[in-house]
Amino acid sequence: MKNIALVTGASSGIGKELARIHAMNGGDLVIVARREEELENIKADLEKTYKIKVVVIALDLSIFGAGTALVNEVNKRGLEIDYLMNNAGFGGYGEFYQRDLEKEKEMIRLNITSYVEITHGILQQMIKRKKGKILNTASTAGFIPGPLQAVYFATKAFVVSFSQAIDQEVKPFGVTVTALCPGPVQTEFKNVAGMKNNPLFKRAKSARYVALIGYRAMLKGRLIAITEKSLSVFINGVMFFMPRRTVLKIIQKLQKH
């Protein structure tokens, strides 16, 4: 196998599109998600259409230690990862004190812990070979606190900060880290998060659109890839001139449905 990309959350949404884009560019794949049957269908389609090789690893990355288990499996198979795309994740809607604590902890394990474990393990390979690119799916939610999605927004803030810090550390080794920060996206996320009817998703971008921006930004070694210009202006400009409590009220109001 050559030009191998490891993509988590590859059974649907942005992850599935990232896998397809990499296959279109002639790269081989390791695709990871919980749903093995769906992964096998994707493997058959990509191998037939693009004449590349795909390895399927069915794994629930929200389980304690799953990220490390994935790295161990990759190493056991002798797979050298050139592109790591940490994409698996989910959100949850509601006031924090009313939400199920175990679900919040599961979200932290998937959205944060798996990224840390997988990135740490794959970086050992990349640094040794002095090459590699990492794309971490964060969110524009990572730049602001999120009343009604407190833990989700906080997990994405971690990913944004973590990605930039690691990028600075690994630059001398020829490795780059990019944080992909989309706004609302038309994926299964809104249903899983309990936000199916939320007005924020009426103008949501397609998973394909977001994946293309992220993939291209990763190839260029960009630090941050915000997919919507209007959100970029708000985050990088307007928000900093507004009182913090005003920002919090706006975010809370936007999320109510």
Q: What angle do CA 128, 131, 135 make, to 5 degrees?
A: 115
226 touches 140 (CB < 8 A): yes
Provide CB contacts within 8 A for 56, sequence distance 6+. Answer: 31, 36, 39, 40, 43
- CA gap 133, 120 in Å, rounded: 13
Alpha carbon separation from 1 to 9, 14, 51, 77, 239 (Å, rounded): 21, 23, 12, 11, 46
Q: Kindly name the residue from 93, 152, 209, 215 that is annotated as catalytic.
A: 152
Name the 3-class secondary structure at 137.
strand
DSSP string, 164-182: HHHHHHHGGGTEEEEEEE-
170 touches 127 (CB < 8 A): yes
- CA gap 213, 230 in Å, rounded: 15
92 touches 152 (CB < 8 A): yes
- CA gap 99, 64 in Å, rounded: 20
- CA gap 37, 129 in Å, rounded: 34
* 83 annotated active-site: no
Q: Which residues are known catalytic residues?
A: 152
